[in-house]
């Protein structure tokens, strides 16, 4: 997802988020099994990577969100001509 965000492919980022959501739902209902120390350390490494990537994606998205906010914010003397259906 970070690669897609860096390319500005926000549709791919959205698709990745949806896939992650499905995986998270699956994992929430999965049975817990004991893991050894090496597996625990790998899980922690992956969680840290996901959090770092998430922060980087948010940083890349922030300017786009600010621009969207500017576009959608009503200003005095300017009438909205958009319709969202």
Confirm whether 46 is domain-assigned. Answer: yes
Per-residue pLDDT of the chain (85 residues; tens, 9 = 90+): 999 999 999 999 999 999 999 999 999 999 889 999 999 999 999 999 999 999 999 999 999 899 888 888 887 766 656 555 5
* Distance (Å, whole) CA 5 – CA 30: 30
Structural domain count of the chain? 1
> Containing domain of residue 38, as a range?
2-72
54 in a domain, yes or no? yes
pTM over 0.75: no
Is 70 within 8 Å of 16 (Cβ atoms)? no
**Is 17 domain-assigned?**
yes
**Is 60 a domain residue?**
yes
| 45-to-7, 39, 40 alpha-carbon distances in Å | 25, 10, 9
Domain-located, residue 84: no
Tell me, yes or no, whether 83 lies in a domain: no
In a domain, 77, yes or no: no
């Amino acid at each position: 997802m970070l690669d897609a965000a860096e390319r500005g492919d926000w549709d791919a980022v959205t698709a990745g988020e949806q896939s992650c959501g499905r995986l998270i739902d699956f994992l929430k209902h999965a049975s817990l099994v004991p893991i050894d120390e090496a597996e625990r350390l790998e899980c922690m490494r992956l969680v840290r990577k996901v959090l770092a990537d998430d922060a980087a994606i948010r940083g890349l998205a922030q300017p786009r969100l600010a621009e969207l906010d500017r576009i959608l914010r009503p200003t005095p003397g300017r009438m909205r001509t958009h319709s969202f259906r």
